[in-house]
């Protein structure tokens, strides 16, 4: 592999952009392609399939044995609200392999003492998200059930195509949220992507149980992503 290929790959990875490397095993030649770039026409199908599935594979390209490796951004979890559920999530999510960030402008909630070893940003989502954009490999869970705090990041997550958007709140709270989003111009289809009430229906009662239900729902969304939605550049 040429150093320039490795550099291109590492740059894409640190920018959280999906990439593939096609290794021609017989010649030793390697090429990196970032999602959204044009691929050689005869390789298009194999590369797109690898990006969709996230699974590296051996293939025959140009009648030569080739290995297609794929590098998808690691899943991230952004939680809006430094509440009791988030405290339990902060312990569970790293075990399941998620990088987790909590955002809450309410400094009484967002204290380092309540959230050790987790990135905690005591700012408004409006201030944080523009500099740390959400993407399709990010799950967003909004758990303050306060429209002033939750609404903006929910819209941002829908726009960014986050693979999971969940929102806490009773059916009544959610019905009011749907109305607000609709009048703000969010389409019915987009609104339908919000998981509310948040979490798998396992009868969770305590904050810790709700955290388990939320994390399980996020993992389900990650592993069952609509294949048609992947492989499309944003």
Partner 1 sequence: MTNEAKMLDPLEIAEAWHRKGRAVALATVIETWGSAPRAVGSHLVIDGGGNFEGSVSGGCVEGAVVSEAADVIASGVSKVLEFGVADETAWRVGLSCGGRIRVYVERIDG
Smallest gap from residue 55 Cβ to partner 1 (A): 7
Smallest gap from residue 4 Cβ to partner 1 (A): 6
Measured from the CB atom, is 10 or 111 closer to partner 1?
Answer: 10
Measured from the CB atom, is 6 or 112 closer to partner 1?
Answer: 6
The pattern of x and - marking residues 56 through 95 that bind partner 1 according to CB under 8 A reads: xxx--------x-xx-------------------------
Q: Does 32 participate in binding partner 1 (rule CB under 8 A)? A: no
CA distance 18 to 34: 6
Q: Does 28 participate in binding partner 1 (rule CB under 8 A)? A: yes
Alpha-helical (H) ranges within 25-146 are 44-53, 84-95, 125-128
Q: Which stretch binds partner 1 (CB under 8 A): 3-11, 33-41, 88-96, 211-219?
A: 3-11
CA distance 160 to 181: 16
Residues with Cβ within 8 Å of residue 223, at least 6 apart in sequence: none
CA distance 219 to 210: 14
Q: Does 55 participate in binding partner 1 (rule CB under 8 A)? A: yes
Q: Does 131 participate in binding partner 1 (rule CB under 8 A)? A: no
Full 3-state SS string of 178-189 = HHHHHHCCCCHH
Can you say whether the dihedral through the CA atoms of 221, 225, 231, 232 is positive or negative? negative
Smallest gap from residue 86 Cβ to partner 1 (A): 20
Residue 104: exposed, middle, or buried by beta-carbon count in 10 A (0-12, 13-18, 19+)? buried
For 94, 158, 182, 210, 234, the CA distances from 189, given in Å and listed in that order, are 31, 10, 10, 26, 18
Smallest gap from residue 43 Cβ to partner 1 (A): 17
Smallest gap from residue 73 Cβ to partner 1 (A): 9
Q: Does 183 participate in binding partner 1 (rule CB under 8 A)? A: no
Per the document, the length of the chain is 234
Q: Does 31 participate in binding partner 1 (rule CB under 8 A)? A: no
Chain residues that interact with partner 1, rule: CB under 8 A: 1-4, 6-7, 9-10, 13-14, 23, 25, 28, 30, 55-58, 67, 69-70, 99
């Amino acid at each position: 592999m040429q150093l320039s290929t490795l550099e291109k790959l590492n740059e894409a990875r640190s920018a959280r952009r999906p990439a593939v490397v096609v290794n021609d095993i017989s010649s030793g030649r390697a090429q990196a392609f970032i999602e959204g770039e044009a691929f050689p026409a005869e390789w298009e199908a194999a590369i797109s399939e690898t990006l969709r599935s996230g699974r590296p594979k051996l293939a025959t390209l140009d009648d030569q044995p080739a290995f297609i490796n794929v590098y998808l951004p690691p899943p991230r979890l952004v939680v809006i609200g430094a509440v009791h559920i988030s405290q339990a999530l902060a312990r569970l999510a790293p075990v399941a392999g998620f990088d987790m960030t909590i955002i809450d402008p309410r400094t009484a909630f967002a204290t380092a003492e309540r959230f050790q070893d987790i990135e905690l940003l005591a700012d408004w989502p409006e201030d944080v998200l523009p500099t740390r954009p959400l993407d399709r490999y990010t799950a967003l869970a909004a758990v303050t059930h306060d429209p002033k705090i939750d609404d903006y990041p929910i819209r941002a997550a829908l726009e960014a195509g986050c693979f999971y958007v969940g929102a806490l709140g009773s059916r009544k709270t959610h019905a009011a949220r749907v109305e607000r989003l609709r009048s703000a111009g969010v389409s019915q289809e987009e609104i339908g992507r919000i998981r509310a009430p948040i979490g798998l229906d396992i009868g969770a009662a305590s904050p810790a149980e709700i955290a388990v239900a939320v994390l399980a729902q996020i993992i389900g969304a990650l592993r069952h992503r609509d294949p048609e939605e992947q492989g499309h550049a944003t």
